[in-house]
Amino acid sequence: MSQEAFPSGPPSPDDLRLISDQLAATRLLPVVVISRAADARPLADALAEGGLRTAEVTMRTPAAIDAIRALAEVPDLLVGAGTVLTRAHVEQAVDAGAAFIVSPGFSPEVVTHCAALGVPVFPGVASPSEIMQAFDHGLRTLKFFPAEQLGGAPMVKALAAPFADARFIPTGGVTAASLPGYLALPSVLAVGGSWMVAPKLLDAGDWKEVTRLTAEAVALAKESTNAAA
């Protein structure tokens, strides 16, 4: 899904709903650190075989932009850019075809520039003050980062109490074992995780294992969501 899906100007409710609905469908967002752009297409295939059509490619490696560009060309794949720290990062990611932006913290410059380009952004928050800053900018879907280190699911539950309109994407240190605790919370839209796309698996080209872990995570997410309903 390329940037052409989003006209310039603030993201419309339909834009945000499109992203949110796809994330909510599986409630999982693979967080990818990729060292070779050539691995992007086999990664997309492995994720799809496991039941996922979403990916966040972190801008932590020189290959990230080319990988986003390759993934943006895959039909029905929703690809976003993560670890976006600056206005320049936003421009590079959107130019490559990122459909949404994820940042580890709250940067007014990043958020404002995403709005100017018409691209949904999920900034990272770790405290009530940061959530209030995000609310002041009209944002309601937020990355909670680093989730496990900040107290995990109990902390998300505590933050959700005074911020009933917030939807969280907990990311950071999440594992298959801790996943159900997050998905039991109605305030959690989706969970970001890297265990199914660990860099060592990508570097080894172990796409079968990526598919296996992805399918396992999808099944676990579905079971956890149904149990919480």
Band of pLDDT at residue 229, cut at 50, 70 and 90? confident
For the stretch 196-228, pLDDT in tens is 999 999 999 999 999 999 999 999 999 998 988
Tokens for 58, please give them: 């972190």
**Domain total of the chain:** 1
Residue 89 is part of which domain span? Answer: 3-228
Q: How high is the pLDDT of residue 9?
A: 57
Q: Is 200 a catalytic residue?
A: no
Residues 4, 49, 56, 200: which is the catalytic one?
56
> Average pLDDT of the chain?
94
pLDDT of residue 195 exceeding 60: yes
Cβ contact 172:178 at 8 Å = no
Burial of 130 (C-beta count, 10 Å sphere; 0-12/13-18/19+): middle
- Give mean pLDDT, residues 131-144: 97
Is the pLDDT confidence value at 152 over 60? yes
Please state the rounded mean pLDDT for residues 64-90: 97
Count other Cβ atoms within 10 Å, centred on residue 205: 15
Compute the distance between CA of residue 101 and CA of residue 120 in angstroms, rounded to an integer: 6
109, 130, 143, 209: the catalytic one is 143
Residue 45 three-state SS: helix
Residue environment code for 189-201, b if the CB has 16+ CB neighbours within 10 A, otherwise e = bbbbbbbbbbeeb
CATH number of 74's domain: 3.20.20.70
pLDDT at 103: 98
pLDDT for residue 16: 84
User: Predicted confidence band at 13 (pLDDT cuts at 50, 70, 90)?
Assistant: confident
Rounded to whole angstroms, how far apart are CA atoms 87 and 97? Answer: 16
Distance (Å, rounded) from C-alpha 93 to C-alpha 65? 6
56 is catalytic: yes
Cα separation, 30 vs 154, in Å, equals 22
Burial grade of 46 (CB within 10 A; 0-12, 13-18, 19 or more): buried
Mean pLDDT of 16-32: 94
Distance (Å) of CA 32 to CA 16, 101, 104, 149, 223: 22, 14, 14, 20, 24
User: Is residue 4's pLDDT more than 50?
Assistant: no
Q: Strand order in 167-170's β-sheet?
A: 124-125, 141-144, 167-170
